[in-house]
Amino acid sequence: MYENIRKKIEEVIKRKTPQAVLFSGGIDSTAILYTAKKYNSNVMGITVGVEGKETSDVEYSKLVAKALGIENHRVFYVTPQTVKGMVETAVRILKSFNPEWVSSTTTLLLGTMYAKKQGLKSISSGEGADDLLGSFPFFTNWQGSLESLDRTIKDRLKEIVVMSKEIAQSMNMEYIAPFQEEEVKEEILRIPIEERMKKEGEIKTKYPLRKAYSGILPRSCIVRPQTMAFTGSRNI
């Protein structure tokens, strides 16, 4: 059942292969980078880090990139001052002062700017998977019924703002969003909510996606604890 998720993601990336992937070493971006490498051997994995901090994103991305043979992996270090200087731009693009959204957007913005400076024209990320697979704390801490959670996730998907897309378009770059494509969303939402929210052993979130790539991606990626973009890179 879960291998169909992998097939749908591959169909999207085969049709529109990115030149770069914003890469944290987590299951979402790793699945995309792994697949993109099949169709673009020189695909660039871009990880944003802050100088002087060996963050979880930097640590895992290096580990996973080595395991997958991603030769074009770039860890892009920035100063805290550079990050702070991006906040105003992030707010303007996102049109929101939500601190978690702004922090996440800052990370995505810096990575996309790096790709742009390298002369690349298209970029991808794992954005959207957290909503689709209910892995945000708001969903994992849900106190209501699974049926009401299912409805809430589906309602959220109708109004979601794709930050990476907004950023890429602001720089005249193409954004390729596998987890925003209808065929991928439909495949995942076809799985009962009980399975989507299932926990098993070290797998605490995104059970269907992790099982889809189990035995294919490094185990460190499959069982990596959930982190958000605003915490994994520790950008503010």
The predicted pLDDT at position 91 comes to 73
Backbone angles phi, psi at 28, to 5 degrees: -65, -60
Q: Considering all CA atoms of the chain, what is the largest pairwise distance in Å, rounded to the nearest integer?
A: 48
The predicted pLDDT at position 236 comes to 42
- Whose CA is closest to 180, among 166, 192, 199, 195? 166
Collect the ranges in the chain with pLDDT lower than 50: 230-236
Q: Give CA separation, 153 vs 195, 196, 230, in Å.
A: 14, 11, 21
Structure tokens of 97? Answer: 């002062």
The residue type at 88? E
The predicted pLDDT at position 235 comes to 47
What predicted TM-score, i.e. pTM, was given to this entire model?
Answer: 0.89
The predicted pLDDT at position 230 comes to 42
What structural domains does the chain harbor? 3-224 (3.40.50.620)
The predicted pLDDT at position 226 comes to 81
Q: Give CA separation, 74 vs 2, 71, 153, in Å.
A: 31, 9, 34
Say which DSSP state 180 is in.
G
The predicted pLDDT at position 228 comes to 56
The predicted pLDDT at position 233 comes to 45
| Contacts of 94 by beta carbon, 8 Å cutoff, 6+ apart | 101, 102, 105, 161, 163, 166
The predicted pLDDT at position 112 comes to 92
